[in-house]
Amino acid sequence: MRAIQARQAGGPDVLELVDLPDPDPGPGEVAVAVAAAGVNFIDTYRRAGIYPVAYPHVVGSEGAGRVTALGEGVTDLAVGDRVAWADAPGSYASRVVVTADRALRVPDDVDDATAAALPSRASRRTTSPPRPTPCSPATTSSCTPAPAASVSCSRSSPWRAAAG
């Protein structure tokens, strides 16, 4: 698989495109072909070394794609299901392993880029304290944050390198 890996703590210059073996799902996990990777602040914090991680590591933790393999004991998903997830390390890759109970089915009418941005946004919405709205110049610092971004790994995307 192709992946974006941080070779050490630092800025964007420590990221490199690498070829790695495809990951295999363990018990309670699914392997997913990544169609879109979510881009979030935590990715930059881990890359920069603010949040400790082992280096080198494949960056990213959220995305959307299709299930390609099931680990032992997974019964509520099937190969071919479209899913989205948050908190699956290594999501800036063409393949990732996701804990099955954190994989959310994606409806057909939701595109991959949107699906990749939703799980993290939803978890923040349910775990963060309420914030005042509507936003105005006087309250901008306390407004609800914008949704996480996502990057498409489609063949026409400039970020396609990780999609293989």
Question: What pLDDT is recorded for position 131?
Answer: 40
C-alpha 101/C-alpha 113 separation (Å) is: 21
Q: Which residue, 32, 94, 42, is CA-closest to 66?
A: 32
Q: Which residue, 51, 33, 54, is CA-closest to 41?
A: 51
Question: What pLDDT is recorded for position 136?
Answer: 40
Give the model confidence (pLDDT) of 45-63 as tens digits: 999 999 989 999 999 999 9
Question: Which amino acid type is present at position 74?
Answer: V
Token pair for 12: 């964007």
Check residue 5 and give left, alpha or beta (phi > 0: left; psi -120 to 50: alpha): beta
Question: What pLDDT is recorded for position 153?
Answer: 44
C-alpha 93/C-alpha 97 separation (Å) is: 10
Question: What pLDDT is recorded for position 119?
Answer: 73
Give the model confidence (pLDDT) of 16-37 as tens digits: 999 999 999 999 999 999 999 9
Q: Digits of tens for pLDDT over the chain (164 positions)?
A: 999 999 999 999 999 999 999 999 999 999 999 999 988 888 899 999 999 899 999 999 999 999 999 999 999 999 999 999 988 999 999 999 999 999 999 999 999 999 998 775 544 434 444 443 344 444 333 333 334 444 444 444 333 334 33
For residue 9, report the phi and psi dihedrals to the nearest 5 degrees: -70, 145
**Looking at the domain 22-40+59-127+146-163, which fold is it?**
Quinone Oxidoreductase; Chain A, domain 1 (3.90.180)
Calculated CA dihedral for residues 47, 161, 21, 73, nearest 10 degrees: 80
